[in-house]
Amino acid sequence: MPTIKNIGVIGAGQMGSGIAHVCAASGYDVVLMDVSDEILQKAIAGITKNMDRQVQKGKLAEADKAAALGRIKTSTDMAAFGDSDLVIEAATENEALKREIFKKLVPNLKAEALVATNTSSISITRLAASTDRPAKFMGMHFMNPVPLMQLVELIRGIATDEETFSAVRELTLKIGKTAAVAEDFPAFIVNRILLPMINEAVYTLYEGVGGVEAIDTALKLGANHPMGPLELADFIGLDTCLAVMQVLYEGLADSKYRPCPLLVKYVEAGWVGRKVGRGFYDYSKNPPVPTR
């Protein structure tokens, strides 16, 4: 079974930063890569802030925090992945973009290096086919926020070999996560169930069955959900929600997965949730107020 010591992470956004955080905190050397030093500096600041929070809660020792941060190197050049035993891609949920990343990545990897994608919905088999190592490629779908959420979905492509799967499953356990094994169907397990619920909540708003606050209150108190579906959609990002629904709709050809027109309209307006300050709620107000 391949030995994983050095881990590369492509994409220093919320997901990539979280993956780098948990891997470094578990003793792995990490190279975090993105397109600019500005993005990388922001990512390191965010990781430091999150680790400080863990120190305050007694979940991480100050010395361990310093050691973990020391294990994270940053780069804007894929050549930095030359020593990586595993590279995890955590870019935007866009298949064309991910394929382009893999084409640029593979010439920089050693022959035995494994590749994983953090896609939340796209075919692992198709993505693997855009690399030179489909047998050493698989899905490793972390949940957001990565340091807090315990689950990682592990997904084999049709060509993924058993050694790759075993090595990635072992890594998942070593970084303190629980693995759920999913087949390579559109959106896997979590998003196959979660995103249609969110989409239905948007339809419920679109059709005037209830307002934003009524829908979220109903699910929080009526189904004991920690967040309402529209609040959760804003947290995930409405652009990501729409991308997953489109994968489900196109991949399974079932009308029940049709993205709600209101979800499409919000994304077209650029109102994609918390990350831009506006989605189903306006986050410039305290507390946030519904936008519809």
Annotated catalytic sites, by residue?
A: 120, 141, 153, 191
Residue 41 amino acid letter:
Q
Bridge partner list, 278: 273, 282
The closest alpha carbon to 115, from 9, 3, 5, belongs to 9
Q: Give me the residue label for tokens 């990682």.
A: 152
**CA 135, CA 131: separation in Å to the nearest integer?**
10
How many degrees, rounded to 5, is the angle at CA 192 between CA 212 and CA 153?
Answer: 115
Question: Cα torsion for 75, 80, 86, 88, to the nearest 10°?
Answer: 30
